[in-house]
Amino acid sequence: MLKGVHQKLETQQTPAFFVRGTSAFLRMVFFCALSITIMAIDARLNYLSQVRQAFIAALHPLEVAANAPGAWYRDTKKYFSAHNKLVQENYILKQQAFEHQVALQRFNTIQAENEHLRGLLNGNIPNQPKGMLGEISHMGRDPFTHIVVVNRGNQHKIKAGQAVVDSKGVIGQVTRVYPFTSEVTLITDKELSIPIQIERNQLRAIAFGGGNNTLDIPYLPTNVDIKVGDKLVTSGIDGIYPAGLAVATVTKIEQNPESPFAKIISTPVAEVTNHLQLLLLDLPDAKEAEIKLTSETSETKDSELKKENLKLNKTNTQTITKPKTKPKDNANAPH
Amino acid sequence: MRHTSLVSVYISLLIALLCQLFPWVGQGIILRPDFMLVVTLYWLLRAPHLCNVGTAWFAGLLVDLATGSLLGQHALSFCFTAYVALSYQRRLVLFNKGQLLAYVLILLLIERVLILLLKLFTGNENPGLAYLLPIISGLLLWQLTIFIFGGITRPKTSTS
């Protein structure tokens, strides 16, 4: 590229026929600067998410091709799995379904009773989140990040910020959505936090990802009432994770005399490595609830007592407790 | 210099990307070699007129996009490693097999350390020594690449 004058001016030791265009050093400097710029743009400005989405969409056929051998293997394995085993499994599943149905009957009556009682006390009824079943397509390309990729994306109306659970407990939160897949950041990621509650004594706290398959609960005094083996469940005050989902079990409590805080380490109960299926819970509609709430409260000003009572029942079925801005903040945080 | 076509470079890079996309399960993922890097280094050392720092940078960018990591971090480490690789490329004729392997080991190490530094800067936790395992599998992959595509330098016995 730079031929003629430039080469003569430079004191070059290499003979001319070895020169291949611009020197490697210059190229390196140029491309390093370019990648640093891209990194800065990607990390701070979020301009490149469109580029990323388009690329991942373009890459989808390649990804399907890469996934194909594994899928074939699984399918053939399924096909050749013994008849006996399937019958046995079917029997066990039927039994389980029966037991669950019995439990559910009680649950339904209790829930109805609870709703009624809350209605009497003019309290808010926590919403029942709906979800979409997804499947883990792979555990992320980089083993040192806490990311799982799920086969549900924009096309299935998945949004960033949705909570993800499996049959045992909370897995994490959707952080990036692509057309056909989405990235779920695990709760063990350092940048993710989750509001929790100790199941035994209802103590509220916030757990942060600690890496290496652990969760930390910082900023609690050394005399806090937490024991090894305590179960942590979601408290539901953030409006993203519905209340009462299992999160983790406390495995270790360290008390350092130099620090006023206890170091509480717990391990998540969800089994990300064992299952493929997981549930992506819908985000609560903060806007809708807000609009309905305001319209209904303005109406109540000039309505009669009878109407008011009717509407109270109505508002009770909506969720009002959610903070309006917090879910968005949380959704953006892990980026 | 032996004849190599640009098409073979790009096709092999595409296959490397496919291998990178292959879903690895369980603990084996820690051992996964960096396919893209090894293939890029191979072409860098064998045919620098076809595959230069720019190609390495682009390969790194593809890895970034495919892995969902911070855009540009693999690009940066790939292009720097490519520069180091190219700076000794002309002396490779003098190297024997062991020395060549050691050279590749150093290059893979440079890339890993660069990525680690960038990750620590962006707030990831320290991954521990298992982070360096892909270097060993990368060396095995390097030998495989040489076996498939032929040696870097012209074999000394042949006259062509």
Chain A nearest CA to B13, separation (Å) = 13
pLDDT at residue B25 is higher than 80: no
Domain that holds residue B74: 31-149
Q: Does A274 map to a domain?
A: yes
Q: Is residue A78 part of a domain?
A: no
B window 136-155, beta carbon within 8 A of A: none
ipTM of the complex as predicted:
0.81
Mark yes or no for CB contact B83/A211 under 8 Å.
Answer: no
Residue B1 has pLDDT above 70, yes or no: no
A36 against A275, higher pLDDT: A36
Q: How confident is the model at residue B81, as a pLDDT?
A: 92
CB contact under 8 Å between A18 and B24, yes or no, is no
User: Is B121 among the domain residues?
Assistant: yes
Q: Answer whether residue A156 is part of any domain.
A: yes
pLDDT at position A290, please? 54
User: Which of B22, B29, B83 is closest, CB to CB, to A139?
Assistant: B29
- Count of domains forming chain B: 1
Nearest by CB to A42, from B22, B29, B72: name it: B72
Least confident window among A124-128, B32-36, B107-111:
A124-128
Res A42: pLDDT: 83
**DSSP string across chain B:** -----HHHHHHHHHHHHHHHHSPP-TTHHHH---HHHHHHHHHHHH-TTTS-HHHHHHHHHHHHHHHT--TTHHHHHHHHHHHHHHHTGGGGGG--HHHHHHHHHHHHHHHHHHHHHHHHHTTPPP--GGGGHHHHHHHHHHHHHHHHH--SSPPTT---
Does a structural domain hold residue A275?
yes
CA of A268 vs chain B CAs: smallest distance (Å): 18
Report pLDDT digits (tens) over B59-88: 999 888 887 778 888 999 999 999 998 888
Note whether residue A253 is domain-resident: yes
Q: Calculate mean pLDDT across residues A213-236.
A: 86
Mean pLDDT of A55-70: 80
Q: Are A289 and A319 a contacting pair, CB within 8 Å?
A: yes
A138 in a domain, yes or no? yes
pLDDT at position B97 over 80: yes
Is B30 in CB contact (< 8 Å) with chain A? yes
Range with the largest mean pLDDT of A321-325, B6-10, B80-84: B80-84
Whether A122 has a pLDDT exceeding 90, the answer reads: no
Residue closest to B19 by CA, chosen among B33, B8, B7, B6:
B33
Distance from CA of B126 to the nearest CA of A (A): 9
Structural domain contains residue B93:
yes
Give the model's pLDDT for residue B52: 82
User: Has residue A332 got a pLDDT over 70?
Assistant: no
- Position B105 pLDDT exceeds 90: yes
In this structure, is residue A196 part of a structural domain?
yes
Looking at the structure of chain A, the number of domains it has is 1
Range of the domain at A259: 134-284
Look at A95-109, A176-190, B145-159 and tell me which has the smallest mean pLDDT: B145-159
pLDDT higher than 90, residue B132: no
**Residue A312 pLDDT greater than 90, yes or no:** no
Least Cα distance to A27 among B107, B71, B80 occurs for B80
CATH code, domain carrying A253: 2.40.10.350
